[in-house]
């Protein structure tokens, strides 16, 4: 069964550093999402992406965040200057088309900011 | 905007016993509702979803959920749980654009042998 993959599984960085989290969505999917889950808290929506542009973003997704689909397979989330409170599990998801389609989630990247 | 409340953070249950995980939502518009399961060190996997039609929705692994519009609830049930059902369960809501999903805080289900 096709799956969404994410790399790395765990990223440790110093406060103020830039990080790039990578995701490979399912190959024929068209909609892509990033979520985060701070330890012990709910999964929070960050951004949705379609047709090479952001469809929707939450208030969490400020100027420090950006997303890109640099080629036909990768979907990246960049945090320009990490803060301690960015420490969380970050999930990528993709879906074929409409919301009625199933969102497939990756296993997540655990980001630790020191 | 929508929001989701999962009333129970932890639910222990004996193997082969029934279980209900509660979910309530709030929204000013019509919504789609979802239940996801997260096994340790894995991503979220869709259990079932309510889009329209019958209010009783059946999903994978023997789970089902009932949409109750008047009570704004979407509780998840299983008549007989198995050890392998031990996981974190998340309820989620989306408006009909699907551009944003709102998740609850999750319920940790522990099945006791």
Percentage of chain A modeled with pLDDT above 90: 68
User: What DSSP string describes A70-89?
Assistant: -SSS-EEEEESS--GGG-EE
**CB contact, 8 Å: A39 with chain B?**
no
Range in A1-15, A24-38, A55-69, B31-45 the model is least confident about = B31-45
| Structural tokens at position A88 | 């969380």
CA distances A75 to A16, A90, B61, Å, are 22, 13, 31
Q: Mean of the per-residue pLDDT values for chain B?
A: 91
**CB contact, 8 Å: A48 with chain B?**
yes
The domain containing residue A17 runs over which residues? Answer: 5-113
Query: In the prediction, which pLDDT does A81 show?
Result: 94
Q: Give the closest of A45, A95, A106 to B43, CB-based.
A: A106
Per residue in B58-67, pLDDT tens? 999 999 999 9
Give residue for tokens 């709102």.
B102
- For chain A, the domain total comes to 1
Give the integer Cα–Cα distance in Å for B50 and B60.
13
Min Cα separation A15/chain B (Å):
25
Give the integer Cα–Cα distance in Å for A26 and A32.
10
User: What DSSP string describes A24-52?
Assistant: E--TT--EEEEEEE-TTS-EEEEEEEETT
Helix (H, G, I), strand (E, B) or coil at A97: coil
The domain containing residue B75 runs over which residues? Answer: 3-112
Report the CATH number at residue A16.
2.60.40.10
Q: Give the closest of A41, A98, A107 to B98, CB-based.
A: A98
Give the integer Cα–Cα distance in Å for B41 and B63.
22
Range in A17-21, A97-101, B51-55 the model is least confident about = A97-101
- For chain B, the domain total comes to 1
How would residue B1 be classed by pLDDT, with cut points 50, 70 and 90? confident
Per residue in A28-56, pLDDT tens? 899 999 999 998 788 899 999 998 999 88
Min Cα separation A106/chain B (Å):
5
B54: which residues sit within 8 A by CB, 6+ positions away? none
Q: Check CB contact under 8 Å for B44 and A105.
A: yes
Q: How many CB pairs (< 8 A) connect A and B?
A: 59
A90: which residues sit within 8 A by CB, 6+ positions away? A6, A21, A34, A35, A36, A37, A77, A108, A109, A110, A111
Residue A99: pLDDT over 70: no
Q: Mean of the per-residue pLDDT values for chain A?
A: 91
């Amino acid at each position: 069964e096709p799956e969404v993959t994410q790399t790395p599984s765990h990223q440790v960085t110093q406060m103020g550093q830039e990080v790039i989290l990578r995701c490979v969505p399912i190959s024929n999917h068209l909609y892509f999402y990033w979520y985060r889950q701070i330890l012990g808290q709910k999964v929070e929506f960050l951004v949705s992406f379609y047709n090479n542009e952001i469809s929707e973003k939450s208030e969490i997704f400020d100027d420090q965040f950006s997303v890109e689909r640099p080629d036909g397979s990768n979907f990246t989330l960049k945090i320009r200057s990490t803060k301690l409170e960015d420490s969380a599990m970050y999930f990528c998801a993709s879906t074929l088309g409409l919301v009625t389609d199933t969102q497939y989630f990756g296993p997540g990247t655990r980001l630790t900011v020191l | 905007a929508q929001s989701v409340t999962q009333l129970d953070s932890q639910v222990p249950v004996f193997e082969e016993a029934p279980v209900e995980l509660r979910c309530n939502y709030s929204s000013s518009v019509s919504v789609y509702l979802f239940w996801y399961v997260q096994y340790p060190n894995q991503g979220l996997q869709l259990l079932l979803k309510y889009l329209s039609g019958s209010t009783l929705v059946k999903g994978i692994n023997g789970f089902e959920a009932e949409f109750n519009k008047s009570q704004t609830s979407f509780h998840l049930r299983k008549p007989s749980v198995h050890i392998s059902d031990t996981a974190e369960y998340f309820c989620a809501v989306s408006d009909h654009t699907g551009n944003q999903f709102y998740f609850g805080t999750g319920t940790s289900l522990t099945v006791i042998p």
